[in-house]
C-alpha cells in the first residue's frame, strides 16, 4: 500500500541539519514519505556513514553530493558552495541542491546537546555558559528563515528546559528567535514536547524534547491549538509496546573470555558476519569487575545496589575516587539506560548482563539499543562508531515523529499548488 501511495504522490522534501550519522533521516526515510534533499554534518565519519546509508539502502546515487561535510557556522559558504577546502573538500552548496531537487518543505535536526545537558553543565566549571554550542540554534534558525519550510523538527535533551546561559532561559531565546521569523512553537514545551523513546519501541530509556515548529503563514487556525493536537493526539497515537534489553540483543553471537596471557584480544572472536559486533579490549581487572557486577545484578539481595557501594568498589579496584559511580549493568528484562556518546571513551556504564561474557556492549549492541537496523553499517574507528550512535536520534522514534508530522501536515496545511503532502493517506492509529 505504501509503495502504491508513493507512485501517486511525490515525496515531502527535507533538509537535515546537524545530521550526524542519520538517525533522524533513517526514521524519515523508513516511512517512504520523504525525500532527503540534503544533509549537513561537520564530523567526517558520521557524514560518510550517512552518505553511504542513503546510497546503499535508499538508492540515492548522488548521496555524496547531497550530504555536505561542513561547519554550519559558516552560513554563506554552506548556502553558496565552496571549493578545495583542506578539511571539508568541495560542494555546490545548499542553494544549488535545492534548486536541483525542489523547495524544502521540512527541516529536521538538532544542535549538539552537550551544552544543554545537565551532566555536561555539572562537569564544566562554568556550567557550559561559555560554550558556543548554546547558540547554534541561531544557525538552525537562519537556515529555516532562508528556505521557509512549512515546518521544522528540532530535537534535543530535556536539560534545555533549565539551561540559562547569560542568565536567560535558552528555551525563551529559541522561542523568540523562531517567532521573529514567523514560526510558532508550543507555549508549554516542558509539558507537551518531552517524550521517552522507550514509549516508541526503542529498548532504551531516553527522554528527549521534540519541538515541532510551524510556519504561521502555512496554516489556518490558532497555532497553539494545532500544536497541542499534534502533541496530545497525533504523536501519542504512534506509541508501541516497550522492548527490553534481552529482546534487543540476546540473539546476537556471544563472546568468550580469552584466557591467553598477553593477548591483544580480551575476548575470543565469534563466528559471525554481523557488522560492527566486536568487543572492545578489556583489562583483566575490568573483566573481573564486570563478571562480579553482572553476577550481583542477578541476585535477590544485591551487594552493589547503591551509588555509594559502586563508588566504593571503583576506589577499591582502581585506587581512584569519583564523584559519580562508574558502573552500570544493563538489566535484561528492562530498557537500557541512555546510550551516550561517552561510550567512545569506555563502556563502564553499559556492561553486558551476561556474567560469562564479562564485557561492555559492542557497537552493534549499542546500535540495536538505539533501534538501528542490522543492515546499517557504521564507518570510521570503533570510537567514532560509539560516538555517532550515542549522539543519534533513535530511528524508531524518528519514524514515529515522521509519520506524525505527515499526518499533521496533511490535516492542517493550507492547500498550495507546490506542496507534496496534501494527498497522503496515512491512517491515524487508534
pLDDT digits (tens, 9 = 90+) for 68-102: 999 999 999 999 999 999 999 999 999 999 999 99
8 lies in the same domain as 31: yes
Residue 126's pLDDT is 54
Rounded distance between C-alpha atoms, residue 296 and residue 304, angstroms? 7
Q: Is the dihedral of CA 225, 227, 229, 231 positive or negative?
A: negative
Rounded distance between C-alpha atoms, residue 384 and residue 46, angstroms? 8
- pLDDT tens by residue, 254-288: 999 999 988 999 999 887 789 999 999 999 999 99
190 lies in the same domain as 334: no
Structural domain that includes position 296? 253-361
Closest CA to 36 of 113, 118, 97, 121: 97
- Please list the residues that pair with 213 across neighbouring strands: 152
Report if residue 385 sits inside a domain: no
Residue 67's pLDDT is 98
229 lies in the same domain as 264: no
Residue 386's pLDDT is 98
- pLDDT tens by residue, 97-156: 999 999 999 999 988 755 554 454 344 455 445 554 567 899 999 999 999 999 999 999
Q: Hey, what's the torsion of the CAs at 161, 198, 387, 319, to 10 degrees?
A: 90
Report if residue 377 sits inside a domain: no
Residue 429's pLDDT is 45
* Contact yes or no for 153/25 (Cβ under 8 A): no
* Burial 274-287, CB ≥16 within 10 A → b, else e: eebbbbbebeeebb
Report if residue 374 sits inside a domain: no
44 lies in the same domain as 189: yes
160 lies in the same domain as 280: no
Residue 1's pLDDT is 41
Instruction: Return the active site residues.
Output: 113
295 lies in the same domain as 166: no
Percent of the chain with pLDDT over 90: 80
Report if residue 337 sits inside a domain: yes
| Chain position carrying cell 515546518 | 151
- pLDDT tens by residue, 291-336: 999 999 999 899 999 999 999 999 999 999 988 888 999 999 999 9
Residue 135's pLDDT is 74
3-state secondary structure of 202: coil
**Residue that terminates a domain, selected from 345, 361, 377:** 361
Total domain count, the chain: 2
Report if residue 106 sits inside a domain: yes
Q: Is the pLDDT of residue 424 over 50?
A: no
229 lies in the same domain as 277: no
347 lies in the same domain as 290: yes
Q: Is the pLDDT of residue 357 over 50?
A: yes
**Residue that terminates a domain, selected from 323, 346, 361:** 361
90 lies in the same domain as 67: yes
Rounded distance between C-alpha atoms, residue 191 and residue 47, angstroms? 34
Report if residue 19 sits inside a domain: yes
* Burial 293-331, CB ≥16 within 10 A → b, else e: bbebbeeeeeebeeeeebbebbeeeeeeeeeebbbbbbe
Percent of the chain with pLDDT over 70: 89
170 lies in the same domain as 270: no
Question: What pLDDT band is residue 423 in, cutting at 50, 70 and 90?
Answer: very low
Residue 168's pLDDT is 85
Question: What pLDDT band is residue 347 in, cutting at 50, 70 and 90?
Answer: very high
Write down the mean pLDDT value for the chain. 90
Rounded distance between C-alpha atoms, residue 288 and residue 311, angstroms? 16
Q: Is the pLDDT of residue 4 over 70?
A: no
Residue 122's pLDDT is 42
Around 414, how many Cα atoms within 13 Å sit in the side-chain half-sphere?
12
CATH number at residue 56: 3.40.50.150
93 lies in the same domain as 152: yes
* Contact yes or no for 339/347 (Cβ under 8 A): no
257 lies in the same domain as 182: no
Report if residue 422 sits inside a domain: no
Report if residue 429 sits inside a domain: no
Amino acid at each position: 500500500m505504501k509503495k502504491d501511495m508513493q507512485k501517486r504522490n511525490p515525496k515531502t522534501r527535507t533538509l537535515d541539519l546537524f545530521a550526524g550519522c542519520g538517525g533522524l533521516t533513517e526514521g524519515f526515510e523508513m516511512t517512504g514519505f520523504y525525500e532527503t534533499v540534503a544533509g549537513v554534518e561537520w564530523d567526517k565519519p558520521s557524514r560518510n556513514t550517512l552518505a553511504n546509508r542513503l546510497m546503499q539502502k535508499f538508492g540515492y546515487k548522488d548521496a555524496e553530493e547531497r550530504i555536505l561535510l561542513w561547519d554550519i557556522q559558516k552560513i554563506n559558504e554552506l548556502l553558496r558552495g565552496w571549493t578545495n577546502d583542506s578539511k571539508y573538500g568541495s560542494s555546490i552548496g545548499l542553494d544549488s541542491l535545492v534548486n536541483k531537487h525542489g523547495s524544502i518543505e521540512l527541516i529536521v535536526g538538532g544542535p549538539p546537546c552537550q551544552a544543554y545537558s545537565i551532566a555536561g553543565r555539572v562537569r564544566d566549571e562554568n556550567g557550559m555558559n561559555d560554550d558556543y554550542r548554546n547558540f547554534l540554534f541561531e544557525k538552525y534558525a537562519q537556515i529555516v528563515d532562508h528556505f521557509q519550510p512549512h515546518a521544522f523538527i528540532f530535537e534535543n535533551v530535556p536539560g534545555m528546559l533549565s539551561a540559562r546561559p547569560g542568565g536567560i532561559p535558552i528555551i525563551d531565546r529559541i522561542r523568540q528567535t523562531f517567532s521573529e521569523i514567523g514560526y510558532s512553537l508550543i507555549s508549554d514545551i516542558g509539558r507537551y514536547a518531552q517524550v521517552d523513546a522507550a514509549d516508541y519501541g526503542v529498548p532504551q530509556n531516553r527522554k528527549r524534547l521534540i519541538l515541532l515548529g510551524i510556519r504561521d503563514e502555512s496554516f489556518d487556525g490558532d497555532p497553539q491549538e494545532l500544536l497541542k493536537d499534534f502533541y496530545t493526539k497525533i504523536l501519542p497515537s504512534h506509541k508501541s509496546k516497550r522492548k527490553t534489553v534481552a529482546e534487543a540483543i540476546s540473539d546476537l553471537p556471544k563472546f568468550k573470555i580469552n584466557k591467553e596471557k598477553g593477548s591483544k584480544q580480551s575476548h575470543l572472536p565469534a563466528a559471525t558476519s554481523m557488522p560492527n559486533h566486536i568487543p572492545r579490549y578489556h583489562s583483566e581487572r575490568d573483566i573481573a569487575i564486570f563478571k562480579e557486577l553482572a553476577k550481583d545484578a542477578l541476585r535477590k539481595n544485591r551487594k552493589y545496589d547503591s551509588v555509594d557501594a559502586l563508588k566504593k568498589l571503583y576506589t577499591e579496584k582502581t585506587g581512584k575516587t569519583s564523584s559519580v559511580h562508574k558502573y552500570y549493568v544493563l538489566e535484561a528484562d528492562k530498557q537500557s539506560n541512555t546510550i551516550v556518546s561517552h561510550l567512545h571513551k569506555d563502556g563502564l556504564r553499559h556492561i553486558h548482563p551476561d556474567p560469562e561474557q564479562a564485557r561492555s556492549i559492542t557497537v552493534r549492541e549499542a546500535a540495536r539499543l538505539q533501534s538501528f537496523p542490522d543492515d546499517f553499517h557504521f564507518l570510521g574507528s570503533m570510537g567514532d562508531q560509539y560516538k555517532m550512535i550515542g549522539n543519534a536520534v533513535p530511528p524508531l522514534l524518528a519514524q514515529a515523529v515522521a509519520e506524525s508530522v505527515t499526518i499533521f501536515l496533511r490535516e492542517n496545511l493550507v492547500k498550495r499548488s507546490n506542496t507534496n503532502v496534501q494527498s497522503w493517506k496515512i491512517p491515524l492509529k487508534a
